[in-house]
Chain A
Amino acid sequence: MEPALAVLVGLFFATAFYLILSKKLIRILLGVAIMGNAVNLLIFTAGRLTREVPPIIALDAYTPPAGAANALPQALILTAIVISFSFFAFLLVLAFRAYQDLGTDDTDAMRVAEPVADAGPPQGY
């Protein structure tokens, strides 16, 4: 099962980065959202896959049933999902504000920090 998910993860990453390499804010945002899923799936798969049985202990038992899923990557991913969502929201608002303030959604046109006609470092003492 893992090889199939490995291919899927590869596709997720490729799609995400293809979108991120675009110059348009919206496509970059979509790419970031997909990248979050790609990373989560990567961690999930690296922790090995087991079908259906969740890591939950039955009322009359002291350990999860045999063949239960690996709990550790799930714990890591659960918080990661929430955090990546909050960062996605932050990025969304940031992009929105950048568009409002700079009047463009093309990252090539956002040259406030790195002006096109850069005079270079100061010379002399």
Chain B
Amino acid sequence: MNTIIFRTVSPVLVALTLLFSAFVTLRGHNEPGGGFIGGLIAASAFALYGLSHGVPTVRRALRFHPMEIAGFGLLLAGGAGLLSIVFARPFLTGLWTFPSVLGVEVALSTPLFFDLGVYFVVTGTMTSIALALEAREGGV
């Protein structure tokens, strides 16, 4: 796996894949895609990076432990659900607002943040699993 071509190409591939994962996640509400798929794509990007450059490099690049990212995602999803309580709606009721930024209408909603939470949970967990298995004996 440590061929020179693989090592050279993989950073570019990883960057593109991550970008793609964000794209897939954000468009998920209207077109095929969403947090689960995006998360899996992002996780495969990190797994790829781990195969080409070794697990420690990925961990340094990530800064946070993958499970911390997953925890953040769960918090985000739960928080997006809790926000509706502030507006006296049941837990997880979708709230929408359409502010205009630079003349372009932007759809902001709690389901969006919920989906981002899903994205982070799946990314974090799957990356954690992949890295744990890629690492040699006992290293995490």
Contact = CB atoms under 8 A, between A and B. Distances in A.
The answer to whether A and B interact is: yes
B40 A82 contact: yes
Contacts of A86: 125-126, 129
Nearest to B121: A82
Contact of B36 (A54, A79, A92): A79
Chief secondary structure at chain A's binding surface? helix
B135 interface: no
Interface in B106-134: 122, 125-126, 129, 132-133
Contacts of A93: 129, 132-133
Contacts, number: 22
B32 interface: yes
A86 B70 CA distance: 13
The 9 A-B residue pairs with the shortest CB-CB distance in the complex, in nearest-first order: A89-B129, A82-B36, A78-B36, A82-B122, A86-B125, A54-B32, A56-B31, A79-B36, A56-B32
22 contacts: A54-B32, A56-B30, A56-B31, A56-B32, A78-B34, A78-B36, A79-B36, A81-B36, A82-B36, A82-B39, A82-B40, A82-B122, A85-B126, A86-B125, A86-B126, A86-B129, A89-B129, A89-B133, A92-B133, A93-B129, A93-B132, A93-B133
Interface of B: 30-32, 34, 36, 39-40, 122, 125-126, 129, 132-133
Given A56-B31, A79-B36, A81-B36, 13 more contacts: A54-B32, A56-B30, A56-B32, A78-B36, A82-B36, A82-B39, A82-B122, A85-B126, A86-B129, A92-B133, A93-B129, A93-B132, A93-B133
